Amino acid sequence: MTLLFTPPTVSVPVSGIAERFSVRRVYCVGRNYVDHVREMREGDERDDPFFFQKPADAVVGGDTPVPYPPRTSDFQFEGELVVAIGAEGVDVPAAQALELVFGYAAGIDLTRRDRQRDCRERRISWEAGKAFDASAPCGPITPRESAGDLATAELRLAVNGEVRQRTPLALMIWNVAEIIAHLSTDYRLRAGDLVYTGTPAGVDSLVPGDVVRAEVSGLAPLSVTITENGSHHDAR
Ligand code: MN
């Protein structure tokens, strides 16, 4: 078989080994911290988790500057724990779900909030608000066995050195095992899938020049620089 062309493989570095984690799909949890559900005034904190996707090539590492995206005037950060899936699974019980996990990373679910709100008001898909180029920065993946106990870990996001989001991961409405269990009822999970697990309160707008740093205790940090709009066609 001869291909007309080969799109570049998107991959994320793995701490401690030379091989990179190639990205197949990107799933995101729509809401997973009570304080963020309240600040967005949407839904009920007892609702089942819901998921949306971003294109795999929206994933960028911390070494790639993120251009301010087009057609928004409210470009926001959402610091999140990212789960990297390393094995196939469908209808996985929560008790076995962590066996699918290859590792964890700090990530940012970048959002065109004005476009997302517009989608919500018009009752159409969130894609315009969520699934744009370079919208899924992801830090180096720490393998599960080196990641320590996430139950006691803290997620922090700082802009230009000032902490803007800070939460114990224990405050997630749905924990990692439960998220994988739910997701695997809708989709066959496979190695290469990334799952962004939702953001706590504190989301806010970014401007060009901002340096956004997402950290989860025990994992490698992610630092992303926002650059001017106009160069978004050169995102990678
Ligand atoms: Mn999010």
Å from CA of 30 to ligand 1 middle: 6
pTM of the model: 0.95
Domains of the chain: 18-230 (3.90.850.10)
The predicted structure's pLDDT at residue 236: 43
Å from CA of 135 to ligand 1 middle: 11
Å from CA of 79 to ligand 1 middle: 7
Å from CA of 187 to ligand 1 middle: 19
Q: What is the pLDDT of residues 68-117, one digit of tens each?
A: 999 999 999 999 999 999 999 999 999 999 999 999 999 999 999 999 99
125 within 8 A of 111, measured Cβ to Cβ: no
Q: What is the pLDDT of residues 38-64, one digit of tens each?
A: 888 777 777 788 899 999 999 999 888
Cα-Cα end-to-end distance for the chain = 27
Q: What angle do CA 42, 43, 45 make, to 5 degrees?
A: 115
The predicted structure's pLDDT at residue 148: 86
Q: Report the mean per-residue pLDDT for the chain.
A: 94
Task: Give the torsion sign (CA, 140, 56, 84, 177).
Answer: positive
- Answer yes or no: is pLDDT of 234 > 60: no
Å from CA of 55 to ligand 1 middle: 14
Q: What is the pLDDT of residues 157-173, one digit of tens each?
A: 999 999 999 999 999 99
